[in-house]
Structure 1
Amino acid sequence: MNGQVSYAYAVVRSSPSLERTALPGVRGVADSAVTLVHSGALAAAVSAVPREEFSEAALKVRLEDLGWLETTARAHHFVIETLAAHTTVLPLRLATVYLDEDRVGEMLSEREQDFTAMLDRLADHVEWGVKVYAEAPTTSAAPSAAALSAGEGGPADEEKPGRAYLRRRRYQRQAREDAWRLAEEAVRRTEAQARGLAVERARHRPQQGDLAGQASGENVANDAYLVPRRLAEKFRSRMLHAADGLQGVRVDVTGPWAPYSFALPPAPDAQEGTRYR
């Protein structure tokens, strides 16, 4: 094992049958087998991964590699979601690495009380992601200079280029303000519709640039809600209709997921991208 370290995915309740029912054939990060490290009432899902790829120095470089990061994140989340189909899961952060399984066991022992309380709180709950987008008209959707001038009663050919430009800019600014006003109304609606269904909400920073992926429009709100499993579909239905009647506004709903946004961070002695023990 000198050439390997322990990559940790999640904390679960210790169960003699869980490894047999949930993990046979499951491959995780670095295409490695996934097993459970048990300590008292808890267990952690782990994989033995190459030290040269997951050392502190290596991860500082690899976490800047978007291709490697995407592949690793997919494997990481696949293991968590596989476990979540069988039991309550406390997801750990991406690239949480320990020197060996003994250190994983020590972490579980040291934080048993905290983890047990968290598992109790999250039992039979799922996470839903709710994002609100404002889709303001594009430049090509703005009225032409001729239309703008004609709209005010003046001949199109008398509209000076500078004045037409300023009119176009005012139109675009007004359109964007209108889109944001309607998006803010959609956010208020999602918050109101979540009452009585969600037990917690986590606010995330709106996504921009590469983080927004292929989504159109501007991300105004990026929230996560913790919802009892029995109310999951009712919650989803309400969120999908939160923007009804609001032109240029879209609400995207994703899930249900393991409660990533509501789990405790990994133990302090774990490596989280830059720290290593």
Structure 2
Amino acid sequence: MNAELSYTYAVVRPTPDLAEGTLPGVAGVASGAVRLVGAAGVAAAVGSVPESDFSEAALQVRLENLAWLERVARAHHGVVEFLASRTTVLPLRLATVYVDDDRVRDVLRRGAEAFTRMLDRFAGQVEWGVKVYAEIPREPAEPDDDEADAPDPGRSYLRKRRRQRADQGAARSAAAEAVERIEAAAGEVAVELARHRPQQGELAVGTGENIANDSYLVPGKRSEEFRDRVRRSTRDLQGVRVEITGPWAPYSFAVLTEPEAPEGVLRP
């Protein structure tokens, strides 16, 4: 029989609707049931997963498989969002795995003070993502009829290339200005900002070059105001696309600094 590990999704405070034991109707990673495991006034959402897929050695290989990673991420996110719709939640990073539930309880006991402090900090707050894209021309424009008929088509082509580079520079400049405007406008509402690496390659979605990939921690009651401020701040800029996503649980902000993180917290 395949050994199992305890995959841990998030930390919450137990409530009358979220008591220890199995969470009815909630399916997690590997389509498994999800349960609450409690200690020291806090609780963790936990599911059993096969050691063959989630041991440290297995994860080193599995996390390179984007299709597998996407399935796990979707299931992980589904559990966190279920909890976030009912209480304040401290999401743990993807593939936080412990040997068993007793180890999870030990982590909760030793990290109870830090967990409680963070749950207090996130009460009533949600995360919004804001991505800024520069819509950059990738190919030189076709020559105009008069340029195509010119005696020196090579010089005409170079003029087109110069115009393309100028358009690219203008789009990047506009996107950089958009980032500054958004930060200024959002700062009137948001309480924290987290910057992430712009997405490239297979992680990039949609058109344009991702210039900024930011997350804002926003009071839930001011979410519509936040979105409106972000939209209005860049409305007149050309060559820029702004993508707003959320509201989410505070994934980008649920990070314990090294001095306050007890051994094992937020680590497999």
Instruction: Give the TM-score taking structure 2 as reference length.
Output: 0.92
Matched residue type, 2:143: S
Matched residue type, 1:269: G
1:145-164 correspondence runs (5 A): 146-147=145-146, 149=147, 156-161=149-154, 163-164=155-156
Distance 2:83 2:108 in 1: 18
Matched residue type, 1:219: N
- The answer as to 2:126 corresponding to 1:126 is yes
Matched residue type, 1:127: E
1:85-234 correspondence runs (5 A): 85-139=85-139, 142=141, 144=143, 146-147=145-146, 149=147, 156-161=149-154, 163-213=155-205, 215-234=206-225
Distance 2:129 2:262 in 1: 25
- The answer as to 2:23 corresponding to 1:27 is no
Residues 89-98 or 182-191, more deviating: 182-191
Kindly indicate whether the alpha-carbon contact (under 8 Å) linking 2:6 and 2:98 is maintained by their aligned counterparts in 1: yes
Kindly indicate whether the alpha-carbon contact (under 8 Å) linking 2:9 and 2:92 is maintained by their aligned counterparts in 1: yes
CA shift, 1:136, in A, is 1.8
Aligned residues: 264
Q: Write the deviation string for residues 52-96 of structure 1: whole angstroms up to 9, x where unpaired.
A: 121112111111111111101100000000000001111101010
Q: Percent identity?
A: 56
Kindly indicate whether the alpha-carbon contact (under 8 Å) linking 1:6 and 1:101 is maintained by their aligned counterparts in 2: yes
Distance 2:76 2:85 in 1: 15
Distance 1:270 1:235 in 2: 32
**Structure 2: runs of 5+ lacking an equivalent:** none
Kindly indicate whether the alpha-carbon contact (under 8 Å) linking 1:98 and 1:270 is maintained by their aligned counterparts in 2: no
Distance 1:10 1:267 in 2: 16
Kindly indicate whether the alpha-carbon contact (under 8 Å) linking 2:13 and 2:42 is maintained by their aligned counterparts in 1: yes
Distance 1:164 1:269 in 2: 63
SS in 2 for 1:158: coil
Kindly indicate whether the alpha-carbon contact (under 8 Å) linking 1:127 and 1:258 is maintained by their aligned counterparts in 2: yes
Instruction: Give the TM-score taking structure 1 as reference length.
Output: 0.89
CA shift, 1:208, in A, is 0.8
Matched with 1:153 is none
Alignment root-mean-square deviation, CA: 2.2
Distance 2:19 2:176 in 1: 46
Q: Write the deviation string for residues 169-201 of structure 1: whole angstroms up to 9, x where unpaired.
A: 211110001111111111111011112200000
Matched residue type, 2:202: D
Distance 1:82 1:138 in 2: 42
Matched residue type, 1:205: R
SS in 1 for 2:238: coil
- The answer as to 2:243 corresponding to 1:258 is no
Matched with 2:78 is 78
SS in 1 for 2:33: coil
Distance 2:21 2:83 in 1: 10
Counterparts in 2 of 1:126 and 1:22: CA distance versus 1, 3 Å: farther
Kindly indicate whether the alpha-carbon contact (under 8 Å) linking 2:6 and 2:49 is maintained by their aligned counterparts in 1: yes
Distance 1:63 1:80 in 2: 20
SS in 2 for 1:23: strand
Matched residue type, 2:96: T
Matched residue type, 2:171: A
CA shift, 1:19, in A, is 4.0
Distance 1:199 1:21 in 2: 34
Distance 2:71 2:132 in 1: 27
Matched residue type, 2:162: R
